[in-house]
């Protein structure tokens, strides 16, 4: 089928919840994608921060194919070896204690919220607790996750959502303190806000939230779905802040492209929250996705991906800051590691993204005016140069 025909057929059958870019992606190799017309794109979107290993990594694919031939799915009624391996690797990387595998980031958020509520209900002998979330946050589109998402435009058509949620200002500790009551059971935040516009937490803010949570026995939930898995130069972005959450959520890059998420807890919460019968999922943690997760961790180690991100981050930041200074339509750069944003104020960000696509570079937006770059973690210095060249061509 011709590209136009494919897009037409897609619009005929697939519910229109996305305004898609007018290309049909067909295959990929490393940091490059190819459309059905054979055009090449340097991929600085990575399926929204998912494809950390790039596309079609042969070792990753071999591991998946091997597991496929052996066992795809058995349900959570039985043990399976890949889940045990993936779980151990995630616990080792995070230094936390217990993991529950889910099918998506949203579902990891749901589990984290339930665990926090159960922890408080068990401690207090009653339910009815409240949660503090952040303005401009993004945690997903299900009813629970949407309830803690700080974007009124996403929430309003679906209200009433889950009750008992209050929004504080990100990076403003006083605004969090003001909302604490004896009913507060959790504070949920992204270590680096992604969809909201690439805002890293200030160290003092994150440490302050940790202190407040400790003082009041409140569960601190860090959403690492986008900023985790090496993207910010550590396995998890919070590891650089000297704080550890009580619950962390992961997804996106966790499976390198298979649909998988996880919520991970410390002993305190794990020992006094979800018990048999409290939570479940049919697919979550099945052998196929867990073989992928397990291989992702192996390849992170084999390729020294975290050090690679640390080593190349100054170069990426310097390139982007240089571009930000050169073009009047860019008012600044912010981000951490390979999670970077350029604030485009002089023209619509969508226009720059469309021109970049024409020039063979895939980038995405965040918030209303941020051009977001979340490349595969395997990118090279030369590919950063190529990105900068294509981006400049799109800004000129
Ligand atoms: C993408 C994202 C989610 C939702 O994950 P899904 O896999 O799309 O359900 C939640 N939180 C953050 C920070 C995200 O970036």
DSSP for 121-172?
Answer: HHHHSS---EEEEETT----SSHHHHHT---HHHHGGG-S-SSSEEEE-TT-
Paired tokens of 264: 């991970």
Element (H, E) at 158: none
User: What distance in Å separates the CA atoms of residue 239 and residue 246, rounded to the nearest whole number?
Assistant: 13
Average of pLDDT values for 218-241?
98
User: Could you check whether the bond before residue 94 is cis, i.e. omega within 30 degrees of 0?
Assistant: no
Query: 392 CA to middle of ligand 1, Å?
Result: 30
Model confidence, pTM: 0.98
- Does ligand 1 have an atom closer than 6 angstroms to the CB of 365? no
The answer to whether the beta carbons of residues 323 and 315 sit under 8 Å apart is: no
Q: pLDDT category, 266, cuts 50, 70, 90?
A: very high
**pLDDT tens digits, one per residue of 65-88:** 999 999 999 999 999 999 999 999
- Does ligand 1 have an atom closer than 6 angstroms to the CB of 144? no
pLDDT (0 to 100) of residue 242: 94
Helix axes 381-395, 305-326, angle to 10 degrees: 20
For residue 313, pLDDT over 90 is answered with: yes
pLDDT (0 to 100) of residue 279: 98
From residue 168, how far is each of 110, 178, 376 by CA, in Å? 20, 9, 32
Average of pLDDT values for 117-127?
98
Closest ligand 1 atom to Cα of 259:
7
User: What distance in Å separates the CA atoms of residue 190 and residue 136, rounded to the nearest whole number?
Assistant: 10
- Does ligand 1 have an atom closer than 6 angstroms to the CB of 226? yes
- Does ligand 1 have an atom closer than 6 angstroms to the CB of 223? yes
For residue 249, pLDDT over 90 is answered with: yes
Query: 37 CA to middle of ligand 1, Å?
Result: 31
Phi, psi of 73 (to 5 degrees): -155, 140
pLDDT (0 to 100) of residue 257: 98
For residue 157, pLDDT over 90 is answered with: yes
Q: pLDDT category, 312, cuts 50, 70, 90?
A: very high
- Does ligand 1 have an atom closer than 6 angstroms to the CB of 190? yes
For residue 387, pLDDT over 90 is answered with: yes
User: What distance in Å separates the CA atoms of residue 284 and residue 286, rounded to the nearest whole number?
Assistant: 6
pLDDT (0 to 100) of residue 59: 98
Residue ranges, comma separated, of all CATH 3.90.1150.10 domains in the chain are 3-57+304-395
pLDDT (0 to 100) of residue 346: 85
pLDDT (0 to 100) of residue 337: 98
Residue ranges, comma separated, of all CATH 3.40.640.10 domains in the chain are 71-302
3-state helix, strand, coil in the chain (%, to 5): 40, 20, 40
Fold exhibited by the domain 71-302: 3.40.640
Give me the architecture of the 3-57+304-395 domain, per CATH.
Alpha-Beta Complex (3.90)
Average of pLDDT values for 5-26?
96
Query: 224 CA to middle of ligand 1, Å?
Result: 9
Q: pLDDT category, 376, cuts 50, 70, 90?
A: very high
pLDDT (0 to 100) of residue 1: 74
For residue 240, pLDDT over 90 is answered with: yes
Q: pLDDT category, 150, cuts 50, 70, 90?
A: very high
Phi, psi of 38 (to 5 degrees): 85, 5
Residue nearest to atom 6 of ligand 1 (CA): 105
pLDDT (0 to 100) of residue 328: 95
pLDDT (0 to 100) of residue 265: 98
- Identify the residue whose tokens are 């049909």: 24
For residue 8, pLDDT over 90 is answered with: yes
Percentage of the chain exceeding pLDDT 70: 100
User: What distance in Å separates the CA atoms of residue 112 and residue 220, rounded to the nearest whole number?
Assistant: 10
């Amino acid at each position: 089928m011709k590209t136009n025909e494919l897009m037409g057929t897609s619009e005929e059958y697939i519910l229109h919840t996305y305004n898609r870019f007018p290309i049909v992606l067909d295959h990929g190799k490393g940091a490059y994608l190819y459309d059905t017309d054979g055009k090449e794109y340097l991929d600085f979107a990575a399926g929204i921060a998912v494809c950390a290993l790039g596309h079609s990594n042969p070792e990753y694919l071999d591991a998946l194919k091997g597991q496929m031939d052996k066992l795809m799915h058995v349900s959570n009624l039985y043990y399976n070896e890949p889940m045990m391996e993936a779980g151990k690797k995630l616990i080792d990387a995070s230094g936390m204690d217990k993991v529950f595998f889910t099918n998506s980031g949203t579902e990891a958020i749901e589990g984290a919220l339930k665990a926090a509520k159960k922890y408080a209900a068990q401690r207090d002998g009653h339910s009815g607790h409240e949660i503090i979330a952040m303005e401009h946050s993004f945690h997903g589109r299900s009813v629970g996750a949407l309830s803690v998402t700080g974007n009124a435009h996403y929430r309003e058509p679906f209200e009433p959502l889950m009750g008992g949620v209050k929004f504080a200002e990100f990076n403003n500790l006083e605004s969090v303190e003001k909302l604490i009551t004896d009913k507060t059971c959790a504070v949920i935040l992204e270590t680096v806000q992604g969809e909201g516009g690439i805002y890293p937490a200030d160290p003092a803010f994150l440490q302050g939230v940790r202190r407040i949570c400790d003082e009041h026995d409140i569960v601190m939930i860090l959403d690492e779905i986008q900023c985790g898995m090496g993207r910010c130069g550590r396995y998890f972005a919070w590891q650089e802040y000297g704080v550890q959450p009580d619950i962390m959520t992961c997804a996106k890059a966790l499976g390198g492209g298979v649909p998988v998420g996880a919520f991970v807890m410390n002993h305190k919460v794990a020992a006094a929250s979800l018990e048999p019968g409290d939570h479940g999922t049919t697919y979550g943690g099945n052998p196929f996705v867990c073989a992928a997760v397990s291989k992702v961790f192996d390849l992170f180690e084999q390729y020294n991906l975290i050090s690679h991100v640390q080593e190349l981050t100054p170069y990426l930041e310097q390139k982007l800051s240089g571009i930000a200074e050169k073009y009047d339509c860019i008012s600044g750069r912010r981000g951490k590691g390979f999670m970077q944003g350029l604030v485009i104020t002089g023209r619509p960000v969508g226009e720059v993204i469309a021109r970049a696509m024409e020039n063979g570079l895939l980038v995405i937006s965040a918030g209303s005016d941020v051009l977001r770059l979340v490349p595969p973690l395997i990118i090279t210095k030369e590919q950063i140069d190529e990105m900068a060249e294509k981006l400049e061509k799109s800004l000129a």
